[in-house]
Amino acid sequence: MNRTLPTIILALLAGLAGAYIGCRIMMPATTQGTEIHALLHRTIALDPDQEARIDALEAGFATTRAGLEAQLRRDNAALAVAIEQEHENGPRVADAVDRSHHTMGVLQKATLAHVFAMRRVLRPDQTAAFDRVVVRALTATS
């Protein structure tokens, strides 16, 4: 009985640590896509057809991104549970990390496909400016 309370507190702290790590460290920034979109509109003069096509791409990608971000939240919750159960970097924790990394990779690939789809909407005289916007967004430090 004397060890029950410390064990419960330790399990709670491990779960909270796992959730914090999952949400703060392992979740990709969701602002990158919107930042590219905002920079695109500020930097490149789009004609109405381009605006409509890019807005449609954004709407479609928003659904994809939301689904993958929801999966990442589920992956991080599973990681928190694994940390709570194992209290070390054991096989359950490693599996949960692998699942989370897989989902992050799928999200990154989907984001790149979206960026290149937007690029295809542009005229050749606009692509160099777009490429600079993408590089700026990917290399921003904050």
Tell me the CATH number at 69. 1.20.120.1490
The percent of residues above 70 in pLDDT, for the chain, comes to 75
Q: Could you list the residue range(s) of the whole structural domain that residue 110 is in?
A: 4-139
Residue, of 52 and 15, whose pLDDT is higher: 52
Domains of the chain: total: 1
Contact 36, 137 (CB under 8 A): yes
- The CB-based long-range contact list for 87-91 (8 Å cut-off, 24+ gap) reads 87/10, 87/14
Question: Average pLDDT in the 60-76 region?
Answer: 95
Q: How many CA atoms lie within 13 A of 21 on its CB side?
A: 20
Instruction: Name the average pLDDT for the chain.
Output: 81
| pLDDT score at 109 | 95
pLDDT at 65 over 70: yes
Query: Average pLDDT in the 45-68 region?
Result: 93
Q: What is the spatial distance between Cα 59 and Cα 37, in angstroms, rounded to a whole number?
A: 12
